[in-house]
Structure 1
Amino acid sequence: MILNKIIEKNISGKKVLGLFIITNLVYAFMLMVTIPKTMEFANGMKLLDMMPTGYDFNYVNKLFSSLGDIGRETYLTSHIPVDMIYPLLFGISYCLVMAYFLKKINKLKTPFIYLCLLPIITGIADYSENIGIITMLNSYPDFTETTVNITSMFSVIKSISTSIFFVALIMILVLVGIKFFKKTSNIN
């Protein structure tokens, strides 16, 4: 399988750690800079990217109206460009993080490898969400309910796949911990 070959070439500890750090630096930048900068114009409303259960036409219309011209431009030119880098980094680095820990418990060459696809699904959903947001921002106030519904669906897919991934990762980390403690207790 192609996925196995790509993963096995790229799961050295240094590479995984480096990608993990870069990914989380970009995420921290979004959380501390681009999201707050955009939210200054939102009058307390959440940005679409930050709504895991989705949104409807009225919410998007109200948000974009609250943002005003400058806020919508900030969303489009400040936050979205960084958020077009993050999904790729998230998909690759967390795919490799999962693979790295699966290898530690000898489960990489099993159906568990499909857990590595979850962050890639998340990244694709995030890109689809971003394209929808860009489309709506560029066509405001003339965006359609269909565009809102499709974009919202991708926001929900992004949040569900992210949640499933992190639950699975926590379970894998528990298994790694158990294996480590069994190994160290056998040494003593």
Structure 2
Amino acid sequence: MNEGEIPQKEMDRRLVLAIDATLQAGTPFERIQTQAGWSVKEAFRLASVSQPDVAVQAMAARRAMTLGQPQVAVALAQRVAESSKRGSRQSITALEILAEQALIQEDNPTALQLYRELTALRMVPNDWYIRGICERNAGNVDEAIDSFRRALAIKPDLVLAHQALQSMFANTDSKLADTHFRLWRALERLERKSSVRANSK
């Protein structure tokens, strides 16, 4: 190999990550179907080597979830969580996968722990909403209300959070319950009007 020449393994790694970034950016799968298929296979191969790269492992874990292989995804995500820097893109991907699988398995204590960690690392409304659900399931009423409100502070039109708060206040504060009820019904009407306008074009 000539000095300065990139090894084939590193070239393959970079191409795998570049194709994944292209898909994450919104490029339709159909446009790069052949490349995407190759990248998934290559990512799984690279993720299984003795000294795997956490970026490739995280990408393979995300694809495994997409392909309906949760056991593979969780195994890879656990490895990424253990070996990546806290708060890095890879560690957050791993936390997302582990949290999602905990929800699917109805393991509320684990899901709650993971969503508490996610909300400490980033400000994503859905993280706060799901944390609210987990807090509510755990009987932590005040924490659940705070979580739903934080979700709405980021995304005021998050209908699910308004619905959750309406339900929680139904027996304790009729005025707040009515406010959230009116808000989510108004948001639903706006959404229907927007859909009608979009379909009429």
The alignment's TM-score, normalised by the length of structure 2, stands at 0.23
Q: Say which structure, 1 or 2, has more relative contact order (CA 8 Å, 6+ apart).
A: 1
Return the index of the structure with the highest Cα Rg.
2
Give TM-score, length-normalised by structure 1: 0.24
Tell me which protein shows more helix as a share of its residues: 1
